[in-house]
Structure 1
Amino acid sequence: MTTIRTGKHATKQQRAAFKYLGALDDSLASWVRSTGPIDAYEMPLPVNVSGPLEWFSFTIASRQLSRASAAAIYNRLVAQLGGSITAERVIATDEQSMRGVGLSYPKVRAIRGLAEHADDGLLELDRLAAMSDAEIQTELIALPGIGPSSAQMFMMRYLHRPDIFPANDVAVRAAVTALDGLDKRITPKAVERRSELWRPYRSYATSYLWGYIWELHHPSAG
């Protein structure tokens, strides 16, 4: 997963994160300095999403599938629901019709359950904006079909929260393991502790780590 370098067009936050992380006495710092400011939130999806419910619907649809297959199913679902995925349209559509676009029963139930909660206002952006990262995480993982990783990616990629750290992410752990020269892959608990140094820009540290491990395995692509 490559990182989006912003260079001279960097925002104030991007420059601040670059300056802070690059100045640390830490194994990540030299990579940060060589990379420059980045966009920690950029991750183009193969589909168009409008709103949290559509974002999570694609996330649920894409599990254990290629991006191409997930995009095809998601687009068929959008068409089935009349051009957009809204709580009202999902609730009004029977399970068999949703199954017809290629979704499994568990995925249909997850999207329908999520729509019911969205209909109650739990995914309203104004409401989420007033909440802390921890509060959002707690609420999201209590919803059907949303685990910690999905909640963290939503906060980082959709809500643009600057201090999210996915400690269970395999690529993040592989990057830290390589940077620190460890004999075996660092554990989620250990990497969570390790990430404290990168506060309040752990979303940026995460993106730098993704970029580092990508370049490590795809040097000709850099």
Structure 2
Amino acid sequence: MQIDPNPALPLDHLALDPVMATMIAETTFPKVFTDYADDVYLALLESIVSQQISVKAADAIFARFRQLFPDGYPHADELLNKTTEELRSAGLSFQKIKYLQSVAEFSLTNPMHRAHFDPMTDEEVVQYLLPIKGVGRWTVEMLLIFVLDRPDVFPIDDLVIRQRMILAYPEQTNGLSGKALYQVLHRIAEAWRPHRTTACRYLWRWKPV
């Protein structure tokens, strides 16, 4: 599902940062898509399958995984009834099988529908989902951006975001690493509030010269 936002206000605000203004001028406005039609459960399953493998491999494995179910949807109870051998046949590792089962088990006792998450803050969503094995902060932040359409997410643990910010703000980040780098990146991103999601979409799409 494609969202049709009015980008004027976020872009006007972000352009108050001269570096971001240049990036916006050089980069085509990123189309905004909501994946999985607000299906947090399915999005988490796909995210786990995608961990540490290429997009092409992940797409193939996730497609085979879904084919294991009669209607192509891995309902929690059906997923938990699958044997390890059946799940392995889709190309899943033993560890990822455990993580997928953890998502299914969690969903049987905890609401996972969009209406449950909408009243929550971003941090409340993070803390709600972190108990699931295989789900970390970065995973939930991607869900906040691409499934729940949250406007002010700053996924600092995303490697591409950090690399692009270092390239875009060399004077502020030169020679920094670890905690010191994170502090500076957070300080830079503070100027983008409350539109940090849009800024990150530009950072992902921006092609440094």
Contact 1:155/1:161 (CA < 8 Å) preserved in 2?
Answer: yes
Change (3 A) 1:169 1:43: farther
CA distance in 2, matches of 1:155, 1:162: 9
> What's the counterpart of residue 192 of structure 1?
186
Correspondence for 1:21 among 14, 21, 43: 14
CA distance in 2, matches of 1:61, 1:73: 7
**Does 1:72 find its partner at 2:67?**
no
Question: Counterpart amino acid of 1:30?
Answer: T
Question: Counterpart amino acid of 1:208?
Answer: Y
Unpaired runs of 5+ residues, structure 2, are: none
> What's the counterpart of residue 216 of structure 1?
208
Deviations 1:29-72 (A, max 9, x none): 22224446543x4387xxx7872222111111111212121111
CA distance in 2, matches of 1:160, 1:49: 11
Correspondence for 1:125 among 111, 114, 118: 114
The structure showing larger relative contact order (alpha-carbon pairs under 8 Å, at least 6 residues apart) is 2
Change (3 A) 1:79 1:169: same
Q: TM-score, normalised by structure 2?
A: 0.86
Q: Which moved more, 1:166-175 or 1:26-35?
A: 26-35
Change (3 A) 1:33 1:121: same
**Does 1:57 find its partner at 2:51?**
no
CA distance in 1, matches of 2:169, 2:78: 49
**Does 1:94 find its partner at 2:88?**
no
Deviations 1:152-187 (A, max 9, x none): 000001111000001122221122212222433662
Unpaired runs of 5+ residues, structure 1, are: 1-8, 218-222
Question: Counterpart amino acid of 2:91?
Answer: G
Question: Where do residues 143-182 of structure 1 align in structure 2 (5 Å cutoff)?
Answer: 143-182=132-171
* Number of residues of Structure 1 aligned to a counterpart in Structure 2: 202
Question: Counterpart amino acid of 1:21?
Answer: L
Contact 1:177/1:185 (CA < 8 Å) preserved in 2?
Answer: no
SS in structure 1 of the partner of residue 170 of structure 2: coil
